[in-house]
Amino acid sequence: MDTVKISELLRATIDPAQRLQAEEQLNQVHKIIGFLPTLMQVIMQNELEIPVRLAGAIYMKNLINSSWQDREAEGGNPIPFAIHEQDRAMIRDTIVEAIVHVPAEVIKVQLCFCLSHIIKNDFPGRWTQVVDKVSLCLQNSDPNAWHGALLCMYQLVKHYEYKKSAERGPLTEAMNLLLPQIYTIMMSVINEPSEQSVLLQKQILKIFYALTQYSLPLEVITKEVFACWMEICRQILERPAPDSAHMEEEERPQLPAWKTKKWASHIILRMFERYGSPGNVISKEYKEFSTWFLQTFTSGLLMVLLKILDQYRNKIYVSPRVMTNTLDYIKTAVSHAFSWKMLKPHIMEIIRDVIFPLMSYTDADEELWESDPIEYIRKKFDVFDDFVSPVQSAETLLHNCCKTRKGILTQVMQIIMQIINTPGLDHKEKDGALHMVGSLAEVLLRKKIFKEQVEQLLMQYVFPEFASPHGHLRARACWVMHYFSDIKLKNPQVLEQIMRYLSNALLTDKDLPVKVEAAMSMQMFLISQEEAAPFLESQIKDITMELLRIIRETENEELTSVLQKIVCTYSDQLPPIALDICQHLATTFSQVLESDDTGDEKAITAMGLLSTMETLLAVMEEHPQVLAALHPIVLQVIGHVLQQNVFEFYEEAFGLVCDLTSKSISPDMWKLLEIIYELFQKNGAEYFVDMMPALHNYITVDTPAFLSNQNHVIAMYNMCKSVLTSNATEESECSAAKLLEVIILQCKGHIDDFIPSFVELALMRLTREVKTSELRTMCLQVGWNYSKVL
């Protein structure tokens, strides 16, 4: 096959005017034997420009992903195209060398995707040679070859990363050969400061982490070998990072030196938490290892981690991930007497000079608050952000120290009081002190010596901040109250005061983050304090409408649960504004669906809105006129989900259909049944279990209307037939058999012509394999009820 022709076609795919025609021609030739090896030759031609070679690598990746393995024909269709074994053998033979020798990193990345897919399908069965090929490249005296070989090794290790020890045999065998080789390379480059050497170190650490983070293979990594790797991590963490003061803050963690330190800190933390923490290891096989780990490495590793914290104290930059891992390691070390003995002399300095500054309001916080309050809110409530945030790790470490180590809480409270009573205290530091108080709420409320003083502490130091000129301190006051919502208050007037502060913050504060924190705190008090609800009663309509407004503005999923609590708590007060609430929810739902955001947050917010709508319908059941007015709005939302095929929300939408058909069925709801049937025929069969309660209502709530149109019965039968004669789950099949039984019992005397077909359908299902007794019983019930009807 002609490399010149292929390269011309690839070049044409980059040109928008020629792209479609070029792609069509490539699709015609890619099935010819020899195409893939020719494509590899094109990718490896150094004289060709990079965009053309990259287009070739992407085409190869897509072809390998879709057509590498042989597949069976399905449902009478022709056998799907698969790359010929002759071509696969040639690609297996050349891909490792290609990754090693191709100079452009963007092309290496695409070829690594190809290699990963090939390993997944062919290793070890058809291709044990990959290990020898990688080993040969690692023995190369040219360091330029090592990078590509390490990338190949990483694909191999990643394939086994989350497999159990029993499934890791081929990897273990490979590591007996490869692990000593990468250790040798690491030792030859560890003291080299060049960027190339540091990036090689980073890649080697990534391999070691992927190899060990889920299961530590003690048969390959003996104690002696393990100790060597721990020493590597210790050295990398100890050495000074290059000066980055001239760089932008967000660019600094991307320096190779900090990336390497990040992986070294990942490794020591993972080894400690998973295999080296006596009493907390993932399996009893590591019990003896954990004791050895604690006694062998605690001193050396804690010493280097304390140095990292010392750098932070002295205003020397530490990347967020390294700081997070350092604090998390120390948090685990606090739990063990052996390591606590070494930490104890340093812990108060850590709390005062590291944890307190981390928990204080920063210049970056202030900039975000002022420039983009909605992003500020999103960041503060992002659980994934917390996962890698030094602030969250500082909170957890502080809490752990005060909860588990005697005398620490008293000393910490003395530090907090000292800070908070400092004359002319900076508002950012005051935030840090209050942040610490809130983080310790659970411990303070449990310790006898403190719980009696908490009420006074809140009144003296937190309540005044509701009137602070600084928005972030008003938000912090709401946040602190949230965490003290379980407090046993001696004076009932204090609870009234708290609820007034929170409702004022929600209704009158000019800053959106304050409103959000006030709403969260309000919810916690309504949950924890039975006496709290009456204090909001007079303002509940305003509170509800303000909540709806900020939900629409922020699209914050946490706020939908606040609204649900309000709706459940004040069901008697809300009928006059129920229509407004429902319309707000529907409008916000449409807004969320149409937004460009495609993340999980959007889906969770939308589900929360549908769930709140369901709660609203439930609490308005005592008000039939209000309920009737809500139906068209909810029906509109259901129609949006079903007609636009927004399948992520089918379960919630069918839940709403069930609610709207539970007492009576309007003409519009009968029209909706037609839409449900059409959806089922297109792509809805897998949601049959979610449809079932609503379909049940259509049959039983207004049986005469159901029977008035024969098409209703035919639609139900066809749906059940589709489920019972296809490869549906047995749960779906049980639902289908149950639906047939319901129709027979509910409509006896009116559907005699259909009944033989119903029974035949159920009994025919019993001629195929039945795994559960429930399905067998359900199918037999159809026949049994038929005989009873006769």
Residues 659 and 711 occupy one common structural domain: no
Identify the pLDDT of residue 385: 59
Query: Which whole number is the average pLDDT over 449-456?
Result: 91
Query: What is the C-alpha to C-alpha distance for residues 642 and 627, in angstroms, rounded to an integer?
Result: 22
Domain-embedded: residue 542: no
Identify the pLDDT of residue 727: 81
Query: What is the C-alpha to C-alpha distance for residues 159 and 56, in angstroms, rounded to an integer?
Result: 25
Point out the domain boundary residue: 663, 683, 717: 663
Query: What is the C-alpha to C-alpha distance for residues 259 and 282, in angstroms, rounded to an integer?
Result: 28
Residues 611-621: tens digit of each pLDDT: 999 999 998 98
* Residue 53, pLDDT above cutoff 60: yes
Domain-embedded: residue 644: yes
- Work out the number of other CB atoms within 10 angstroms of the CB of residue 483: 18
Residues 651 and 697 occupy one common structural domain: no
Q: Who's near 342: CB < 8 A, 6+ residues apart?
A: 298, 299, 302, 333
Give the pair of three-digit tokens for residue 92: 């297996």
Residues 593 and 686 occupy one common structural domain: no
Query: Between the CA of residue 463 and those of 48, 390, 404, what are the distances in Å?
Result: 70, 28, 29
Categorise residue 163: left if φ over 0, alpha if ψ from -120 to 50, beta otherwise: beta
Mean pLDDT of all residues belonging to the chain: 93
Domain-embedded: residue 63: no
Query: Which whole number is the average pLDDT over 105-109?
Result: 96
Nearest to 440 by CA among 408, 470, 467: 408
Residues 727 and 754 occupy one common structural domain: yes
User: Chain centroid to CA 118: how far?
Assistant: 28
CA angle 446, 450, 454 (to 5 degrees): 95
Query: What is the C-alpha to C-alpha distance for residues 768 and 730, in angstroms, rounded to an integer?
Result: 12
* Residue 788, pLDDT above cutoff 70: no
459 DSSP 8-state letter = I
Q: Who's near 773: CB < 8 A, 6+ residues apart?
A: none
Residues 693-747: tens digit of each pLDDT: 999 999 999 999 999 999 999 999 999 999 988 888 889 999 999 999 999 889 8
CA atoms within 13 A on the CB side of 592: 30
Point out the domain boundary residue: 610, 634, 663: 663
Q: Model confidence at 786, in pLDDT bands (50, 70, 90)?
A: low
Domain-embedded: residue 177: no
Identify the pLDDT of residue 11: 95
Residues 707 and 638 occupy one common structural domain: no
Q: Which domain holds residue 645?
A: 555-663
Give me the count of residues in the chain.
790
* Residue 183, pLDDT above cutoff 70: yes
| Nearest 10 degrees: Cα torsion 707, 710, 713, 717 | 160
Identify the pLDDT of residue 732: 92
Q: Model confidence at 570, in pLDDT bands (50, 70, 90)?
A: very high
Residues 60-103: tens digit of each pLDDT: 999 999 999 998 876 667 889 999 999 999 999 999 999 999 99
Identify the pLDDT of residue 281: 92
Give the pair of three-digit tokens for residue 58: 């992407």
166 DSSP 8-state letter = G
Residues 691 and 748 occupy one common structural domain: yes
Residues 574 and 644 occupy one common structural domain: yes
Residues 638 and 722 occupy one common structural domain: no
Residues 652 and 703 occupy one common structural domain: no
Domain-embedded: residue 764: yes
Domain-embedded: residue 196: no
Burial of 563 (0-12, 13-18, 19+ CB in 10 A): buried
**Residues 294, 339 contacting (CB under 8 angstroms):** yes
- Work out the number of other CB atoms within 10 angstroms of the CB of residue 711: 11
Query: What is the C-alpha to C-alpha distance for residues 536 and 277, in angstroms, rounded to an integer?
Result: 48
| Token pair 């939908």 in the structure block, residue | 560
| Nearest 10 degrees: Cα torsion 269, 270, 272, 277 | 130
Residues 636 and 737 occupy one common structural domain: no
* Residue 599, pLDDT above cutoff 70: no
Domain-embedded: residue 610: yes
Query: Between the CA of residue 692 and those of 61, 122, 574, 731, 772, what are the distances in Å?
Result: 43, 44, 31, 11, 19
Residues 560 and 644 occupy one common structural domain: yes
| Nearest 10 degrees: Cα torsion 194, 196, 199, 205 | -90
Provide the number of structural domains found in the chain. 2
Among the listed ranges 78-87, 169-178, 591-600, which one has the minimum average pLDDT value?
591-600
Domain-embedded: residue 87: no
Burial of 45 (0-12, 13-18, 19+ CB in 10 A): middle
Identify the pLDDT of residue 387: 59
CA angle 696, 678, 724 (to 5 degrees): 60
Point out the domain boundary residue: 603, 629, 663: 663
Query: What is the C-alpha to C-alpha distance for residues 243 and 240, in angstroms, rounded to an integer?
Result: 9
Query: What is the C-alpha to C-alpha distance for residues 71 and 81, in angstroms, rounded to an integer?
Result: 8
Residues 650 and 684 occupy one common structural domain: no
Nearest to 673 by CA among 647, 704, 638: 638
* Residue 784, pLDDT above cutoff 80: no
* Complete DSSP assignment for 661-707: TSS---HHHHHHHHHHHHHIIIIIGGGHHHHHHHHHHHHHTSHHHHH
**Residues 676, 691 contacting (CB under 8 angstroms):** yes
* Residue 242, pLDDT above cutoff 60: yes
Q: Which residue has the higher pLDDT, 452 or 435?
A: 435
Query: What is the C-alpha to C-alpha distance for residues 301 and 749, in angstroms, rounded to an integer?
Result: 81
Q: Model confidence at 785, in pLDDT bands (50, 70, 90)?
A: low
Q: Who's near 453: CB < 8 A, 6+ residues apart?
A: none
CA atoms within 13 A on the CB side of 302: 24
End-to-end CA distance of the chain: 74
